[in-house]
Amino acid sequence: MSRAPLVLTMGDAAGIGPEIIVRACAQGATGDCIVVGDPAVLQRAARACQLPGLALPPVLRPPGLPEGLETLPWGRVDARAGAAAARCIEHAVALVQAGQAQAMVTAPIHKEALAAAGIGYPGHTEMLQALAARASGAASGPAPGSQPPPVRMMLANDELRVVLVTIHLSLRRAIEAVTFDAVLQTLRIAHSAALAFLPQAPRIAVAGLNPHAGEGGLFGDEEIRIIAPAVQAARAEGIDASGPYPPDTVFMRARHASGHPGAFDLVVAMTHDHGLIPVKYLGVEQGVNVTLGLPFVRTSPDHGTAFDIAGRGLADPSSLVAAIRQARSLAAPRKGGEGVVG
């Protein structure tokens, strides 16, 4: 192939990640991909999907992967699966940083399995942020004096794009993390990233934190003290941001649907569930998670490991296929408006 491949990580070996990779392959969606993972795990997934003779993409087994992953019980938290998932992510990042892959797509991991393995990150986003601080091609640890890049999670489908100020925190801690600097930084990252995939400067709606966006301070004053000043600061920098708007209605205004062109291109939401519930309600099948702010392209499905159906051959690969398609689009050289997320 003329261009570097996409690299897929297999995700948690006991979850549906290997199955959706196999099913995406069966649909012809993985033609320019390599998989970082365990070949035996992928072969087990092919058998579970009743596709034992399927020609799988090339599979790279990174050094240090635990043995016997294909014997792990389906649908159970296991430290070995968590350690393997982390090792695959590390190896995939190294490939992208070395120019041996053009972008990465990550299959779902399980946060409890990561914790059981002693991995000090609550999820993909935080781990990728730390790994991105390494010098290009570095094999161990961040370079002296390097700082992790500020990153944000965006979840997108054909109808809605949402960028989050806070992600994997308890609600109490998330509220504390909604600061002027955090909101302004999110607006800057969202604006800069969207310029790469939209044909025009993005129109960004900012959702409030409190019911009715605080109702003038009656239900909380974060909108007055923090969010509105950050929006004004962003506007002073030339960012087309507006709000804060009531979080229970702004997503309806932003939604791009048949006969209803959305009033905004992006919504910035303060907390994880505020932002992700509306996108996921529209259907996880086409939802894509994009990490904004990394020095490389990373996408993923917008669902988890689905332990309840793992190993039964029932997993739907649609969101992974959309993530692969989105990674190709974002990694490709832009011409005009190509590379639109969602």
Mean pLDDT of 277-303: 88
Quote the crossing angle between the two packed helices 318-331 and 17-26, to the nearest 10°: 70
* Helix/strand/coil for 187: helix
Say yes or no to pLDDT of 139 above 50: no
Say yes or no to pLDDT of 160 above 60: yes
The reported pLDDT for the residue numbered 285 is 72
In terms of pLDDT, which residue wins out, 102 or 338? 102
- The phi, psi pair for 75, rounded to 5°, reads 70, 25
User: What letter represents residue 250's amino acid?
Assistant: V
Position 284 confidence tier, pLDDT thresholds 50, 70, 90:
low
Mean pLDDT of 195-223: 93
Let me know how long the chain is: 342
Mean pLDDT of 322-326: 92
- Domain 1-145+295-342, second-level architecture: 3-Layer(aba) Sandwich (3.40)
Mean pLDDT of 255-279: 93
The reported pLDDT for the residue numbered 258 is 85
* Short-list 124, 118, 144, CA closest to 9: 124
The reported pLDDT for the residue numbered 154 is 94
DSSP secondary structure letter of residue 200: S
- The phi, psi pair for 205, rounded to 5°, reads -95, 140
End-to-end CA separation in angstroms for the chain: 27
pTM for the complete prediction? 0.85
The reported pLDDT for the residue numbered 330 is 86
On the question of a common fold for 1-145+295-342 and 158-282, the answer reads: yes
- pLDDT digits over 7-59, tens only? 999 999 999 999 999 999 999 999 999 999 999 999 999 999 999 989 999 99
Q: Mean pLDDT, the chain, as a whole number?
A: 90
Contact 14, 81 (CB under 8 A): yes
Say yes or no to pLDDT of 335 above 70: no
Contact 89, 9 (CB under 8 A): yes
Position 206 confidence tier, pLDDT thresholds 50, 70, 90:
very high
- Domain 158-282, second-level architecture: 3-Layer(aba) Sandwich (3.40)
Position 329 confidence tier, pLDDT thresholds 50, 70, 90:
confident
Residue 77: how many CB atoms within 10 A of its CB? Answer: 19
Q: Which range among 109-113, 266-270, 335-339 shows the weakest confidence by mean pLDDT?
A: 335-339
Q: Which long-range contacts (CB under 8 A, 24 or more apart) does 227-232 make?
A: 227/178, 227/183, 227/270, 229/180, 230/180, 230/183, 230/184, 230/187, 230/206, 231/183, 231/187, 231/206
In terms of pLDDT, which residue wins out, 260 or 305? 305
Contact 149, 293 (CB under 8 A): yes
Contact 331, 102 (CB under 8 A): yes
Pair of tokens at residue 196: 């790469």
Domain boundaries, the chain: 1-145+295-342, 158-282
> What is the spatial order of strands in the sheet that 241-245 belongs to?
59-60, 33-36, 6-9, 103-106, 298-301, 288-292, 152-156, 161-164, 266-269, 204-207, 241-245
Contact 294, 103 (CB under 8 A): no
Distance between CA atoms of 307 and 330, rounded to whole angstroms? Answer: 30
DSSP secondary structure letter of residue 260: B
Say yes or no to pLDDT of 333 above 80: no
DSSP bridge partners of 267: 162, 205
Say yes or no to pLDDT of 197 above 70: yes
DSSP bridge partners of 154: 163, 290
Say yes or no to pLDDT of 163 above 80: yes
Pair of tokens at residue 143: 């370079």
Mean pLDDT of 180-199: 94
Say yes or no to pLDDT of 148 above 90: no
Say yes or no to pLDDT of 97 above 60: yes
Pair of tokens at residue 133: 């601080």
Say yes or no to pLDDT of 283 above 80: no
